[in-house]
Amino acid sequence: MYSRKKINRGFRSGLEVMVKDQLLSNNVVVKYEPIKIEWEDLAYRKYTPDFLLPNGIIIETKGLFTAQDRRKHILIKKQHPELDIRFVFTNCRSKLSKKSKSTYASWCEKHNFLYSTKKIPIEWLNEKEQIKIKQTFIPFKGKKLC
């Protein structure tokens, strides 16, 4: 579907390329990895989301949604509740692990994240702006330990 050559042109996965193509076909200005969000996890880390929509919605594309990814997003949501981070999965019915009965979709529902499979829903593109993200770096706002 998407060749390795096309993926290597600045994107990390075929899903990211599909989402970029969808945004372009809907006349949405594509911003790929335009911001960094600082978060705390015994050390200060930076998270670079995949896409930032003009209305301030942050899109993270995921083929594999690891336990580390899930933990990170729970902490980011807690530390930056003003941000609207949503997921586009290759398959939202994928299991969290081989032994788990829970899916990516059920995890998102449990933790109040919006999600979709393979495409950004048009409704997300048409939502009014809720937050204006002006800077390219969003610092941690809590009390730093160091």
* 81-140 residue pLDDT tens: 999 999 999 999 999 999 999 999 999 999 999 999 999 999 999 999 888 888 889 988
Give the pLDDT confidence score for residue 80 in this predicted structure: 94
Mean pLDDT score, 18-39: 92
Give the pLDDT confidence score for residue 9 in this predicted structure: 67
Q: Are 89 and 100 in contact (CB under 8 A)?
A: no
Residue 2: pLDDT band with limits 50, 70, 90 = very low
pLDDT (tens digit per residue) in 30-72 = 888 999 999 887 778 899 999 999 999 999 999 999 999 999 9
pTM greater than 0.85 (yes/no): no
Cβ burial, residue 22 (10 Å; 0-12/13-18/19+)? middle
Q: Which domains does the chain have, with CATH numbers?
A: 4-138 (3.40.91.30)
The two tokens of residue 81 are: 């509740």
Nearest residue to 76 (alpha-carbon basis) of 109, 37, 134: 37
The two tokens of residue 57 are: 């919605």
Q: How many residues can be counted in the chain?
A: 146
Q: Are 20 and 6 in contact (CB under 8 A)?
A: no
